[in-house]
Copies of this chain bind each other. A is one copy, B any other.
Amino acid sequence: MIEDTETRPGWLAPEELESVRGRMPILYVDAVPVRVDATGVVTHVGLLLRISADGAVSRALVSGRVLHQERVRDALLRHLEKDLGPVALPHVPASPQPFTIAEYFPSRDVTPYHDPRQHAVSLAYIVPVAGDCRPRQDALDLVWFTPEEACSPMVQEEMAGGQGVLLKQALAHVGRLS
């Protein structure tokens, strides 16, 4: 997951966040950016690309914390804008119901999701994106895959923490898992 590092008055300072992280579940959102055709069928899913210092490629969904007194839909928009840029034109769903929740545990095998840093519970949404995507954080690109490509072993292996499973769940929800 991609963590926001900004702080504002009243928010948890980084060291406080570290302290809380070991004590209670942290609320996250996961967004699966998609392109749809004129009839609403998902044609592509967008995955963020990162290349680590040793050259390893990893791909990720748009993801991040919900802040104090922030609505879930505002958190979704904030993380989408942070990762896709200001002219991505995301259509945040009208319904607050997530298509699923992903429970990231610090220990493996409790659920399909894993985050060594913390117990995070993420509300997952599919978000059609109509505009241009220009990833803003360094070392990040956004690549569009067909549903078939996104479920392929190659792409799945490049996703960490169980986000490959979450991506397949999203494709199943929109009727595009094969």
Contacts and interface: CB of A to CB of B under 8 A. Distances in A.
Contacts of A27: 24-25, 27, 121
Contacts of A70: 25
B101 A72 contact: yes
A97 interface: yes
Nearest to A130: B91
A88 interface: no
Main secondary structure on A side of the interface with B: loop
A49 interface: no
B68 A25 contact: yes
Contacts of A68: 22-25, 119
Interface in A1-49: 10-12, 16, 20, 22-27, 34, 36, 38-42
Contacts of A96: 100-101, 103, 174-175
Nearest to A113: B175
Interface stretch (A52-60, A134-142, A164-172): A164-172
Contacts of A66: 25, 121
A169 B172 CA distance: 5
Contact-residue bracket for chain A? 35 or more
Interface in A109-151: 110-112, 119, 121, 123, 126, 128
Contacts of A36: 94
A126 B94 contact: yes
5 closest Cβ pairs, A-B complex:
A172-B172, A40-B92, A169-B172, A94-B174, A39-B73
A34 to B, nearest CB: 6
Given A66-B121, A68-B24, A168 B175 contact: no
A91 B23 contact: no
Contact of A97 (B25, B74, B101): B101
